[in-house]
């Protein structure tokens, strides 16, 4: 199984914040919602994401949690701010939610604007595919000639539907659109960027990644992994760093702790059980490693799980 195939285990949108945005110039929005991943598809007109111009059919993936700016073609100064929980205010704090709402999933300064965008947000890293989202550049652009117009059209249609079941369909369409967009980005021969496991093309390293992904709790070392893929320790270490951008054991640690983050949000699991399932026999060592990577202890991480947003 190639490394990209593991992306099919994420994302998993659950009650995702998703809407169709209709804007007439001038307009500009500062987004500081701390979301893990946001997808923006332009269906009409032009928009800029952090000064990168998008045209109809282009799709952008924005990796959080850092703030970014979405503006009209002229790059107007922001007058609207989106905050955590998808709060919507003027820069001085006046609530704009009712003023800019045009339906359950329609929003903007015009009912039918010269520019239309589809926006979907994954608030938590576990929803966005964890390590996958972190392997992306901060801004991933797939142009209209490589994006999936059929998926974009289906999502646009569902966002215009008031049917109570539409949210489930929107969640799944968002997942497929993100997967399709990343696949197009990875397969684009003109793509430039740092090496990550998503873009690995070395077959030996791909086999090593497959082994780490399949058995993350196994007691891997560089030596044992090299034997497993029939190469020398030095060769594996060098080729892995070149293809993935970090050493094998550093990658394994991040992979284990990413899985652990997802498991900590599973009902009924204890920290000790999560630790063992990702290869840590000592809960204290697991907690120390988790805090070093995530910034909080496993127990704190579990308690800080944010509430789900809705588009209403």
Q: At 307, is the pLDDT very low, low, confident or very high (cuts 50, 70, 90)? A: very low
User: How does residue 276 score in pLDDT terms, banded at 50, 70 and 90?
Assistant: very high
DSSP one-letter code for 197 = G
User: Tell me, what's the pLDDT at 164?
Assistant: 72
Rounded to a whole number, what is the distance in angstroms from the first to the last CA of the chain? 40
- Res. 236: pLDDT tops 90: yes
Strand partners, 30: 69, 81
Specify the pLDDT at position 31.
96
| Between 183 and 230, the higher pLDDT residue | 230
Half-sphere exposure of 19 (CA within 13 A, CB side): 19
- In a 13 Å sphere around the CA of 215, the CA atoms on its Cβ side amount to 10
For the chain, the C-alpha Rg in angstroms (whole number) is: 21
What are the tens digits of pLDDT across the range 156-184?
Answer: 999 988 777 788 899 889 988 988 998 88
Domain with CATH 1.10.10.60 in the chain: 200-303
- Please say if the pLDDT value at position 310 is more than 50: no
Given a contact cutoff of 8 angstroms between Cβ atoms, the answer to whether 35 and 106 are in contact is no
171-201 in b/e burial notation, b at 16+ Cβ within 10 A? bebbbebbbbbbbbbbeeeeeeeebbbbbbe
User: pLDDT tens digit string along 78-128?
Assistant: 999 999 988 999 999 999 988 898 888 899 999 889 999 999 998 876 665
Distance CA 119, CA 88 (A): 14
What pLDDT is recorded for position 250? 93
- Residue 248 is predicted with a pLDDT of 95
Distance CA 153, CA 165 (A): 18
pLDDT surpassing 70 at residue 265 = yes
Condensed to tens digits (0 to 9), the pLDDT of residues 44-91 reads 999 999 989 999 999 999 988 889 999 999 999 999 999 998 899 999
CA distance 13 to 126: 9
* CA quadruple 261, 263, 266, 268: dihedral sign: negative
Report which of 247, 219, 257 is spatially closest to residue 131, judged by C-alpha positions: 257
Q: Classify 176 as helix, strand or coil.
A: helix
pLDDT score recorded for residue 133: 66
How far is Cα 186 from Cα 189, in angstroms, rounded to an integer?
Answer: 8
CATH class of 3-187: mainly beta
**Residue found by looking up tokens 């320790």 in the block:** 233
Residue spans in the chain of domains classed CATH 2.60.120: 3-187
- pLDDT band, residue 1 (cuts 50/70/90): very low
Share of the chain above pLDDT 70, in %: 87
pLDDT at 125: 65
Question: For 200-303, CATH number?
Answer: 1.10.10.60
Closest CA to 43 of 26, 15, 22, 70: 22
Average pLDDT for residues 22-32, to the nearest whole number?
96
Q: How far apart are CA 79 and CA 90, in angstroms?
A: 6
Residue with more model confidence, 247 or 268:
247
Q: CA-CA distances (angstroms) from residue 219 to 72, 212, 216, 256, 271?
A: 52, 10, 8, 12, 19
């Amino acid at each position: 199984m190639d490394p990209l195939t593991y992306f099919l285990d994420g994302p998993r949108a659950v009650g995702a914040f998703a809407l169709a945005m209709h804007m007439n110039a001038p307009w500009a929005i500062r987004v500081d919602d701390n979301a893990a991943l946001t997808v923006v598809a332009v269906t009409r007109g032009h928009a800029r994401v952090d000064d990168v111009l998008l045209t109809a059919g282009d799709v952008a993936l924005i990796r959080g949690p850092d703030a970014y700016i979405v503006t009209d073609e002229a790059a107007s100064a922001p007058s609207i701010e989106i905050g955590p929980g998808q709060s919507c205010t003027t820069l001085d704090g006046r609530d704009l939610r009712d003023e800019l709402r045009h339906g359950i999933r329609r929003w903007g300064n015009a009912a039918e604007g010269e520019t239309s965008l589809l926006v979907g947000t994954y608030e938590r890293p576990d929803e966005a595919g964890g390590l996958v989202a972190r392997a992306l550049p901060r801004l991933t652009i797939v142009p209209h000639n490589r994006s999936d117009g059929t998926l974009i059209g289906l999502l646009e249609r569902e966002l215009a539907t008031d049917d109570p079941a539409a949210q489930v369909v929107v969640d799944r369409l968002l997942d497929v659109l993100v997967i399709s967009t990343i696949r197009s980005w990875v397969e684009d021969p003109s793509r430039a960027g740092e090496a990550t496991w998503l873009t690995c093309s070395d077959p030996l390293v791909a086999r090593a990644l497959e082994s780490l992904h399949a058995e993350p709790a196994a007691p891997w070392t560089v030596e044992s992994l090299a034997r497993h893929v029939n190469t020398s320790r030095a060769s594996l270490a060098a080729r892995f760093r070149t293809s993935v951008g970090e050493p094998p054991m550093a990658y394994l640690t991040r992979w284990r702790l990413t899985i652990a983050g997802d498991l900590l949000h599973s009902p009924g699991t204890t920290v000790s059980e999560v630790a063992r399932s990702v290869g840590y026999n000592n809960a204290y060592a697991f907690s120390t490693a988790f805090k070093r990577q995530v910034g909080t202890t496993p127990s704190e991480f579990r308690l800080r799980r944010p509430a789900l947003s809705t588009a209403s």
